[in-house]
Each structure stands twice: as structure tokens, then as C-alpha cells.
């Protein structure tokens, strides 16, 4: 708690010599005791303050780390999103190109089918005209047989 300034004997002799009031000395000792208590409380408060400051520094460091992780995660997410968008764009372009090629292929197949159809119709027309040339009276189904005599045959041969 501190050392006493004066021992009891020397205090009394001093008080007599100096004429200091004993109550004053008691007050001084009480004030010194209060000062000692205040110093002790100050030291305790400083220790608490240092502990709280250390905790605050830890929390600030953790908060900084969390912020850095969140920023890194956001940057990573943005990069991933950009890569996904680019890949989707490439796939979309490839799909559109494939679709255009298939559409062109379909058009060519339709043209070939139309050409084959026209060729078949033309061939059928040729066959039909060939058949008609071979059988000119094929359209006349009401053919009636007639008897020919030799006279009729001789006149027919001359006509031909």
C-alpha cells in the first residue's frame, strides 16, 4: 500500500515541532491511500484496456480476412460467370451454324427430291408416248372385226 511517510514517534515529535494538525496528517495519509487505490485501479483499467484492444485488433484482422475472402469469392464468381457466358455464346454460335448447315442440307435434299420427281414424270411421259406409238389405236377400244376378202386385201395393199 505504500510506505508511511513518517513513523508514529517521529510524526508526533514533528507535529509538535512544526505545529501541524494531526487531522491534517490523517487526511494526507487517507489521500495517499486513495491515490494508491486509484493507481491500482488505473493499472487494472489499463490491463483491461490492453486486453480489449488486443481483442479489437483480432476482430479487425478477422474482419479484414473475411472481407478479402468475400472479395476473392466475388471475383471468382464473376470470372466463372464470364467464362460460362462465353462458353454459352460459343455453343449458341456452333448450334446456329449447325442449324444453318442442316437447313441448307434440307433445301438441297428437297431440290433433289423435286428433280427426281420431275425425272420420273418425264420418263413416264416418254414411256407413255412410246406405248402410244406402238399401239396407236389403243385409245379406240370399240374395235370391230371385219371379214376381208381377197378383193379387199388387194385394194388394201395398194393403199398402203
Instruction: State how far the Cα of 10 lies from the Cα of 149, in Å rounded to an integer.
Output: 192
Q: Which run of H or of E encompasses 152?
A: helix 150-159
pLDDT at 90 over 60: yes
CA dist 85 to 72, 80, 90, 97, Å? 20, 9, 9, 18
**Taking the CB of residue 119, how many other CB atoms lie within 10 A of it?**
10
Cβ contact 97:105 at 8 Å:
no
Higher pLDDT, 85 or 4: 85
Global confidence as pTM: 0.43
Predicted local confidence at residue 160, as pLDDT: 45
CA dist 129 to 42, 119, 120, 133, Å? 127, 15, 14, 6
* Top mean-pLDDT range of 16-20, 118-122, 155-159: 118-122
**Taking the CB of residue 29, how many other CB atoms lie within 10 A of it?**
15
Cβ contact 1:33 at 8 Å:
yes
State the average pLDDT over residues 118-131.
88
In the chain, what are the domain boundaries? 8-130
Amino acid at each position: 500500500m505504500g510506505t508511511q511517510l513518517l513513523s508514529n514517534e517521529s510524526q508526533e515529535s514533528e507535529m509538535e515541532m512544526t505545529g501541524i494538525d494531526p487531522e491534517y496528517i490523517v487526511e494526507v495519509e487517507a489521500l495517499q491511500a486513495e491515490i494508491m487505490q486509484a493507481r491500482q485501479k488505473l493499472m487494472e483499467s489499463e490491463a483491461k484496456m490492453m486486453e480489449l484492444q488486443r481483442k479489437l485488433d483480432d476482430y479487425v484482422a478477422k474482419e479484414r480476412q473475411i472481407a478479402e475472402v468475400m472479395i476473392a469469392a466475388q471475383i471468382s464468381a464473376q470470372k466463372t460467370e464470364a467464362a460460362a457466358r462465353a462458353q454459352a455464346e460459343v455453343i449458341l454460335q456452333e448450334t446456329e451454324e449447325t442449324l444453318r448447315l442442316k437447313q441448307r442440307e434440307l433445301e438441297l435434299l428437297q431440290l433433289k427430291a423435286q428433280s427426281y420427281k420431275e425425272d420420273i414424270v418425264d420418263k413416264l411421259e416418254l414411256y407413255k408416248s412410246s406405248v402410244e406409238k406402238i399401239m396407236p389405236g389403243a385409245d379406240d377400244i370399240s374395235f370391230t372385226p371385219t371379214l376381208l376378202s381377197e378383193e379387199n386385201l388387194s385394194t388394201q395393199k395398194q393403199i398402203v
